[in-house]
Amino acid sequence: MSQNVLIIGNKRYSSWSLRGWLAAKLSGMEFEEVLVPLYQEGCHEELKKVNPTAPPKVPSLKIGDWAVWDTLAISEFLAEQYPEAHLWPEDTLARAYARSIVAEMHSSFQALREHVPMDLLKKMPYAPLSEDVEADISRICEIWRDCRSKFADKGPYLFGKISIADVFFAPVLVRFYSRSIPLDDICQNYFNTLWALPEFVEWREAAEQEEWTITDYSLK
């Protein structure tokens, strides 16, 4: 078994796993991937078995006898260990801004999470959503437009070059796609850029091959 093991959940459904996996891929770290299907009988026991030091959640990173869990902690660890990957913007203020929007993504947008869950195999025609969900969508688009206005001359991602900020918004694209959310030109261009990221394409193609379907979120 590899020294570095990334434990993830279903690629079709697990938004936090997607973030952790993309960060690991973009860092260049060599790792073994272990997928534990979520919301199945015994999944918590299996998660503890594969990474005993971490809580039974995904993603988690096992490094020898050590564990790192929570996607933000994993991303920070990867940025420190693989500085050549430049996972954060190099400019001090841009990096602080990137950390701010990542922290906001990490802790906010509860209405969007609750009412538009990530499901890579779902595609519905657009229909207006509740006021609180629409407010979350509006705020996310505001972030995207602001970043693109500041860093468009440096590249096509939020801060020009690909970064942890893009990683944290990747599952949002899946949520938007699943409900056919209309976007303005700036946001749609950013959406198209991140959607075409090879690592993101690899994840989606793997999700399409999964046989698990979550119908009961009460099973632990």
Judge residue 7's burial from the number of C-beta atoms within 10 Å of its C-beta, 0-12 exposed, 13-18 middle, 19 or more buried. Answer: buried
Q: How far apart are CA 25 and CA 72, in angstroms?
A: 15
100-140 pLDDT, tens digit each? 999 999 999 999 999 999 999 999 999 999 999 999 999 99
Predicted TM-score of the model (pTM): 0.95
- Residue 220 inside a domain? The answer is no
Q: Cis link prior to 59 (omega < 30° from 0)?
A: yes
**Domain CATH for 174:** 1.20.1050.10
159-206 pLDDT, tens digit each? 999 999 999 999 999 999 999 999 999 999 999 999 999 999 999 999
Judge residue 82's burial from the number of C-beta atoms within 10 Å of its C-beta, 0-12 exposed, 13-18 middle, 19 or more buried. Answer: middle
Asked if residue 219 has pLDDT above 80, the reply is no
Number of domains within the chain: 2
**Domain CATH for 59:** 3.40.30.10
Do 121 and 195 belong to one domain? Answer: yes
Residue 68: which domain range? 4-84
Residue 109 DSSP code: -
Where helices occur in 152-197 by DSSP H, the ranges are 164-178, 185-195
Q: How far apart are CA 33 and CA 25, in angstroms?
A: 11
